[in-house]
């Protein structure tokens, strides 16, 4: 932790944001309008000059239930990929005279493949997150806040530590936040580098110093979370939406997306892969894939789009035709995928989908916590089959075996959402591009027969004889 604040700190970051300041306005770009084009960090003074902590000030003057109602009306949905209404989640945190005040935990363990949005917010504008956490803490009566930050985000860690110190010195954290009588402080916790820590209950276990195994739900964290106390866990971007809701009102926020989507507000969209200009854009939620891909300058010279993931490695592959869909939680869900984090990964016709999928599934297999059987033992098997297909050493039946795996590690069958997240790209890739997989299979003749004698062979042989 830093112990003092450099007097003239102008930390500067390499920004992935592709919108100039002139385009980003207070009333249309609540997440990014304060960011500087040069990527320099927005410190406390600058943040306050740009109407910072106004939302928090409003929240501190309101009853917790009114804040929750505003979040519900604004329809802020979980930007970590789950899409669950933040207001509803906050309303489920148990409160009562005989219950202890619990924790407000920010999930900043941004590790979803192809996702780099929270990093931008934490590096360049950490006070927006702190303000969001104060609002959430107020709404959830939380006593203490933790930011569970991805360990590799060392720049974000520096920026956040500095901001927490700044906020404490300014009386915005600690006892009696901004003179409101409400106590709340925040600690930064950097993770040791496991994808599963992004699962909120595994995150809580890790925060407690235990193995990062997810917990069974129910009970939900709002009932019994960190150290058994009521706990609310929100993603960075979700929390960063709260200040504008509290400053400008729920209706204003809901209007941001106009008629593009039922969901409210803006979304940090992004693109990675073989496009001309990968990056991030703050756009109304419900913007189409085309719009975003166009902003990224389309595919790179010589490449055409084969398929794309709408929001990270654990979302399902979509086809070019799906680019015209509005990218919001409900719409994408209807096409066998999920909005996820809203950061597109594009795949070129010249890239091997099998290799890409093998890479993804190896990642998911490696990141399994090892708690439940389908995930722990199913994913490595699927990854090994993909590896043989990639090398042209697959066997007949492998595709069916992969499909069987995808079906048997789905929601409800496994302990948490990790394996279902791994199942989605696997299932969708085979559904859309079965031929790519079939190409990796060595026909039986070439190998001199099946490795396992089964009934079908015998039956076929008998038929030939008769």
Residues in contact with other proteins by the rule CB under 8 A: 94, 194, 211, 215-216, 218-219, 223-224, 227-228, 365-374, 376-381, 384, 395, 401, 404, 408, 412-415, 451-452
Closer residue to other proteins in complex, CB, 62/224: 224
Write phi, then psi, for 270 (nearest 5 degrees): -160, 170
- Given its phi and psi angles, is residue 140 left (phi above 0), alpha (psi -120 to 50 degrees) or beta? alpha
Between CA 112 and CA 316, with CA 382 as vertex, the angle to 5 degrees is: 40
Judge whether 400 and 183 are in contact, CB under 8 Å.
no
Other residues' Cβ atoms within 10 Å of the Cβ of residue 370: 12
Distance from CA of residue 255 to its chain's centroid? 24
Running DSSP on this structure, what letter comes out for residue 304?
-
Other residues' Cβ atoms within 10 Å of the Cβ of residue 2: 11
Where b means 16+ CB within 10 Å and e means fewer, 92-128 reads: bbbbeeeeebbbbbbbbbbbbbbbbbbbbbbbbbbbb
Least Å from the CB of residue 453 to other proteins: 11
Alpha carbon distances (Å) from 91 to 77, 125, 142, 292? 14, 27, 13, 34
Least Å from the CB of residue 257 to other proteins: 33
Judge whether 172 and 178 are in contact, CB under 8 Å.
yes
Closer residue to other proteins in complex, CB, 321/454: 454
Closer residue to other proteins in complex, CB, 17/385: 385
Between CA 314 and CA 319, with CA 317 as vertex, the angle to 5 degrees is: 160
Only one residue has tokens 């069987």, namely 404
Q: What is the dihedral of CA 446, 448, 449, 450, to 10 degrees?
A: -80
Closer residue to other proteins in complex, CB, 91/345: 91
Across the chain, how many H-helices and E-strands are there? 19, 8
Judge whether 278 and 308 are in contact, CB under 8 Å.
no
Least Å from the CB of residue 445 to other proteins: 19
Closer residue to other proteins in complex, CB, 452/465: 452
Least Å from the CB of residue 41 to other proteins: 35
Closer residue to other proteins in complex, CB, 107/206: 206
Judge whether 37 and 24 are in contact, CB under 8 Å.
no
Least Å from the CB of residue 413 to other proteins: 6
Least Å from the CB of residue 441 to other proteins: 14
Contacts of 219 (CB under 8 A, 6+ apart): none
Closer residue to other proteins in complex, CB, 250/422: 422
Q: Where are the beta strands (DSSP E) in 74-132?
A: 103-108
Running DSSP on this structure, what letter comes out for residue 106?
E
Least Å from the CB of residue 326 to other proteins: 30
Report the C-alpha gap between 222 and 92 in whole angstroms. 6
Closer residue to other proteins in complex, CB, 62/362: 362
Running DSSP on this structure, what letter comes out for residue 220?
P
Least Å from the CB of residue 206 to other proteins: 12
Instruction: List, in sequence order, every residue forming a beta bridge with 234; answer none if it has no partner.
Output: 106
Least Å from the CB of residue 129 to other proteins: 27
Report the C-alpha gap between 336 and 397 in whole angstroms. 24
Least Å from the CB of residue 150 to other proteins: 17
Closer residue to other proteins in complex, CB, 94/247: 94
Closer residue to other proteins in complex, CB, 5/413: 413
Least Å from the CB of residue 436 to other proteins: 21
Closer residue to other proteins in complex, CB, 18/384: 384
């Amino acid at each position: 932790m830093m112990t003092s604040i450099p007097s003239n700190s102008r930390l500067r970051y390499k920004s992935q944001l592709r919108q100039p300041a002139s385009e980003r306005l207070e009333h249309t770009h609540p997440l990014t309008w304060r960011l500087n084009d040069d990527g320099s960090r927005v410190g406390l003074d600058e943040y306050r000059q740009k109407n910072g902590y106004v939302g928090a000030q409003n929240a501190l003057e309101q009853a917790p239930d009114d804040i929750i109602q505003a979040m519900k009306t604004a329809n802020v949905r979980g930007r970590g990929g789950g899409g669950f209404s933040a207001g509803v989640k906050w309303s489920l945190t148990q409160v009562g005279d005989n219950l202890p005040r619990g924790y407000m935990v920010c999930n900043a363990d941004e590790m979803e493949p192809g996702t780099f949005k929270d990093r931008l917010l934490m590096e360049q504008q950490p006070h927006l997150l702190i303000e969001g956490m104060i609002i959430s803490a107020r709404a959830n009566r939380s006593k203490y806040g933790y930011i569970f930050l991805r360990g590799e985000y060392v720049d974000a860690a520096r920026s956040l530590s500095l901001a927490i110190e700044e906020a404490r010195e300014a009386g915005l954290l600690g006892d009696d936040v901004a003179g409101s009588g409400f106590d709340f402080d925040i600690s930064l916790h950097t993770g040791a580098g496991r994808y599963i820590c992004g699962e909120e209950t595994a995150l809580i276990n890790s925060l407690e110093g235990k193995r990062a195994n997810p917990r069974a739900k129910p009970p939900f964290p709002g009932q019994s979370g960190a150290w058994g106390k009521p706990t609310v866990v929100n993603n960075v971007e979700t929390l960063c939406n709260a200040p504008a809701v509290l400053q400008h009102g729920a209706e204003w926020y809901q209007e941001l997306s106009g008629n593009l989507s039922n969901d409210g507000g803006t979304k940090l969209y992004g693109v990675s892969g073989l496009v001309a200009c990968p990056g991030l854009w703050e756009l109304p939620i419900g913007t189409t894939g085309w719009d975003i891909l166009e902003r990224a300058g389309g595919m790179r010279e010589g490449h055409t789009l084969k398929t794309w993931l709408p929001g990270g490695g654990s979302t399902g592959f979509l086809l070019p035709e799906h680019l015209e869909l509005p990218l919001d939680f409900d719409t994408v869900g209807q096409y066998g995928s999920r909005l996820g984090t809203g950061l597109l990964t594009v795949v070129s016709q010249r890239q091997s989908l099998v290799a890409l999928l093998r890479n993804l599934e190896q990642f998911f297999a490696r990141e399994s916590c090892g708690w439940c059987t389908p995930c722990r033992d199913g994913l490595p098997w699927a990854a090994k089959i993909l590896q043989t297909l990639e090398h042209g050493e697959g066997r007949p039946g492998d595709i069916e075996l992969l499909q069987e795996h995808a079906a048997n590690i789905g929601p409800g069958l496994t302990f948490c959402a990790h394996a279902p997240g791994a199942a989605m790209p696997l299932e969708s890739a085979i559904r859309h591009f079965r031929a790519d997989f079939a190409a990796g299979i060595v026909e039986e003749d070439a190998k001199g027969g099946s490795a396992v004698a089964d009934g079908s062979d015998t039956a076929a042989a008998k038929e030939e004889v008769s």
